[in-house]
Amino acid sequence: MRLDKFLKVSRIFKRRTIAKEVSKKQRITINDRIAKPASNVEAGDVLTITYGNKELIIKVREVTQYVRKDAAQDLYEIISDRKLS
Cα gap 67→82, rounded to integer Å: 26
Cα gap 10→13, rounded to integer Å: 8
CATH number at residue 57: 3.10.290.10
Q: Exposure pattern of 12-49 as b/e (b: 16+ CB <10 Å)?
A: bbeebeebbebbeeebbbbeeeebebebebeeebebbb
pTM, full prediction: 0.90
Interval 52-67: pLDDT, tens: 899 999 999 999 998 9
Sequence-ordered strand ranges (E) for the chain: 28-30, 33-34, 46-51, 54-60, 76-83
Residue 7 pLDDT > 90: yes
Residue 85 pLDDT > 80: no
Q: Which domain holds residue 66?
A: 3-83
Of residues 52 and 81, the one with the higher pLDDT is: 81
Counting the structural domains of the chain, the total is 1
